[in-house]
Amino acid sequence: MPVSQQYESIVGFATTLVALAGVAAMVKGIAGALFHHSIPPEDLDRIAKEYGWWAARRAESVCPHMDVACVEREAKRLYEVTKYRR
């Protein structure tokens, strides 16, 4: 029996494990991006009620992590800019 046939099942199993680990890492990255909030959800809801959901989410994306005051300022700025441009 050649050496390559002896190790074929081991190599196949190792390849499957590497592929599964890669898929798991991609899914974790995608799921983490979908459910990530840089500020507490209750603060985001409060800001969204005042300035609109789109402004709150866009402001959250450009402000530093856990900086609620920055998110509120940016959401207010975005809301006022669009209000005056109409």
Cα pseudo-dihedral 76, 78, 84, 86, rounded to 10: -130
pLDDT for 35: 64
pLDDT for 75: 96
Verify that 15 and 32 share a domain, yes or no: yes
Q: Which of the residues in the chain have pLDDT under 70? A: 1-3, 31-36
| Range(s) of the domain holding residue 32 | 1-36
Verify that 27 and 46 share a domain, yes or no: no
When divided into structural domains, the chain yields a total of 2
pTM of the model: 0.59
Verify that 81 and 50 share a domain, yes or no: yes
pLDDT digits (tens, 9 = 90+) for 51-73: 999 999 999 989 998 899 999 99
Q: Give every CB contact of residue 39 below 8 A, 6+ residues apart in sequence.
A: 60, 66, 67, 68, 71
pLDDT for 33: 59
Say how far apart CA 78 and CA 85 lie, in whole Å: 11
Q: Give every CB contact of residue 43 below 8 A, 6+ residues apart in sequence.
A: 68, 71
